[in-house]
Structure 1
């Protein structure tokens, strides 16, 4: 529901401060030649057509977001076609979100060092090629590999697009551009379920990936003409490729252990090897980041209660959101027998409720801080998940799904925005890009782990299709309610009180999300 829309805002602004004042200077130009000099220097297309540039960047970001929520709607028909069963279905989403989330910090660093336009075009090319491979996939393994390629492309494309906005637009125009960027992130979930429903209903699940090809081709042609060229040569030093690979493989091992635990056995050698190996890899990542001069993440910042506590709460909130979409989609289609289009339309109230909650969160937090609102938001979310846990074999959308959707959606809308504010507030000027990157990464990784856990619980009986699947889905909603309850206690115990937090927020208004 939330896209990585705040990544690298402040850092890119600081790195390129004053770029709007860079002009061509001709040595020895006399006042009498001023008019002649003005005609000899053509303006950049990005300066003369900023609206076109912004449109290109927003469509690219929307394409990245849609490939999460649209696939949710197509999961049942996709699973039937590729003979996916049990928790293996979840890898259709997690293979994308895992790579996307774990490499977001690396993508932002690459945009700074290698060039924003270069990374935008590289990411777009990877995303397009992987979309074609996803559409052509004949096996589950081929689809998972292609989806991972899409995640890599998205991790390069999205931070680069945001960095281009930060360095091209100034003042009030920048604020408007960032508001549009945030709106795309918020609307992407609702648009995604509708697009996924329409394409799957009237065509085939593969069309979700095929439709990216003409859109990406048009974006590529427009980007060559409109995106400002990189003026500096690529700088490869400082990328921290080791840290990026270590973090990604470690998280992947943990997710694999979770999704395969039911089949292999929770105490089996495979589960323990991958699970403990993943945890050990994350410990090695933390040790590595503390030693190098330009880390992707300054680990010591997690000691800040708002940052460290906020990261845990972001993992919980995002896991709940991704799980809510997945479990609801499986129940509506596999148990109630609704078609893809009807399912997409059924998610609109959820998106509206979350949007209302997100809009209200900024006003609530500015007065009451984050501790109380987040405690309350997760309690509301737990209530919504409890309502959804009553789904049964002979249920109905209006009676058994809609009330829980609305309650959980409103709670999670407040939670995600409030957590983002908690993490971003108090960040020093030189580290805001890193902290905002951590916020976006937490969202994607939380969603990845959430899908892995909830899909494993839902598939515990080995059935995810037919009326019998209702029992496992109900158990997964119970687990989601427990997670939200734990998150409310963590918010109450860890986050700073309003009297300490609100003054810091007033000193750092950029931490408030743009609406």
Structure 2
């Protein structure tokens, strides 16, 4: 492949990844404005966030498989086209239902763009050039995730909330043109041509009813027929998924990987980290903008959440060297402990708090997440053999989507239920909303402490050496797992293995 074509691959994949991650992190800031325009309650509109993650979880591994079988460029282009279509659908939406539908489509598009974009990069480059290209891709993912809330806040004031989606659609069209002109198609020649579609559907059938039960359980009653029915459907679908994965020729998930203690511990840690930080951003975006509390504009709310997003992205690249010195699982445990402290601090929130009181706990939670994310991702791909790295990466990427979907649904339910109950008891709106925020924060603190346990479960494994590429992988770890110097390489390629600690 010529230098110009490789540059085209790099630009198309990095720009599309930046846009997808910025779009994902911006939406929570937009929800109050969307609610005002469509008339749908913010509590129902949380499905614009959880639905995205739900579909993304079901599709991210399958989209990589589709690229291997039918051509990575072709599936990447399909992901971009789907992303454009979803942006247009959302921007033209006259109802909350259309926004939610568009976001669910966008979940499939975003996960496809991320999975196939990474594959295109690794095929186009090799050796140290591949390391640099993947590092730039990781940096683009991190910048997009950090910039999203601020960009969303700016655009709501300048163009209305629809502006974000029109701009994203235009950029995605540009990426499609660039991909068509410069990217050569490729597929995995030695891979069976079967794709585990049934597994994909069963993942959605497991997560969908579970999230619906979490979202509506307080309205329906936690022991009502509807809630119990949703949970039973989720259990049956999960059981069916296990049965299918044992028999299908090319499984979505190799169940043998679940016997790998390090991978399981790292994956659950990734799920907890992604879930709690997404839940925090969702609830704080609403709390900061509510007229009864701080009454921020969308732009001010984007600026207010910036310490968390920037703190996460800035601290993460500094972690690999620390992990190389003291051990990855020790850093993961410390990170979750610090995150739990940040959440617990917010749990003490009072209706009289101004924004300055939130600043330090936000930074603490973000830095803690930066400490835990990178080493957890590095452990996930370091704990398996070279031919299982792709599967391990896929499992950890799915875990991010699952964590975001479940924790955001849980946070939305806690926040709205506690608020409603306190108002029913005679409290003012500000006191009730602060109680909802505090309860949600305490629950997220408890979940974060479970991450400390996962650091113990992970046990000994190869450690990344703390290279520049490791720093880029750590920065991107909030949204995607990238290989590190601890990732075992196939013969004659890739990064060297780190030492065991």
1:283, distance to aligned residue in structure 2 (A): 1.9
Which of 308, 319, 323 aligns to 1:361? It is 319
1:495 equivalent in structure 2 = 458
Indicate yes or no: 2:97 matched with 1:141: yes
Match for residue 370 of structure 1? Answer: 328
CA distance 1:507–1:108, shift in 2 (3 Å) = closer
Relative contact order, higher structure (CA 8 A, sep 6+): 1
Give the deviation of 1:348 after TM superposition: 2.4
The 2-side partners of 1:232 and 1:424 are apart by 20
Q: CA RMSD in A?
A: 2.4
Structure 2 unpaired stretches of 5+: 466-484, 489-494
1:226 counterpart (174, 178, 182):
182
> Does the residue aligned with 2:184 lie in a helix, a strand or coil?
coil
Partners of 1:356 and 1:186 in 2: CA distance? 9
SS of 1:281's partner is helix
Once the two structures are TM-superposed, the CA of residue 358 in structure 1 deviates from its matched residue by 1.2
Q: Which runs of 5+ in 1 are unaligned?
A: 1-43
| CA displacement 1:457-493 (0-9 Å, x = unmatched) | 001145599523221111101111111122213433x
Q: Confirm whether residue 435 of structure 1 aligns to residue 435 of structure 2.
A: no
Aligned to 1:457: 414
SS class of match (2:318): helix
Q: Could you say which residue in structure 2 is the equivalent of 1:425?
A: 382
**Cα–Cα, structure 1 residues 340 and 503, in superposed 2: closer, same or farther, change >3 Å?**
closer
Separation of aligned partners in 1, 2:295 and 2:43? 20
Deviation at 1:83, TM superposition (A): 2.5
1:279-290 alignment runs, 5 A limit: 279-290=235-246
Tell me the CA shift for residue 232 of structure 1.
9.0
Give structure 1 regions of 4+ aligned residues with deviation exceeding 6 angstroms: 231-236
Name the counterpart of 1:252.
Answer: 208
Aligned-partner Cα distance in 2 for 1:328–1:506: 36
- Tell me the matched-pair count: 464
Q: Match for residue 347 of structure 2?
A: 389
Question: What's the counterpart of residue 296 of structure 2?
Answer: 338
Per-residue deviation at 1:391? 2.4
**Cα displacement (A) at 1:157:** 2.0
Q: Is the contact between residue 114 and residue 236 of structure 1 (CA under 8 Å) also seen in structure 2?
A: no
8 Å CA contact retained: 1:200, 1:341: yes
1:297-336 aligned at under 5 Å gives the runs 297-334=253-290, 335-336=293-294
C-alpha distance 314-459 of structure 1, shift in aligned 2 (>3 A): same
The equivalences for 1:100-179 within 5 A come to 100-179=56-135
Once the 2 structures are TM-superposed, how far is the Cα of residue 392 of structure 1 from its aligned partner? 2.6
Q: Match for 1:478 among 439, 442, 447? A: 442
Q: Post-superposition shift, 1:235? A: 9.0
SS in 2 for 1:103: helix
Q: Larger deviation: 390-399 or 373-382?
A: 390-399
- TM value normalised by structure 2: 0.87
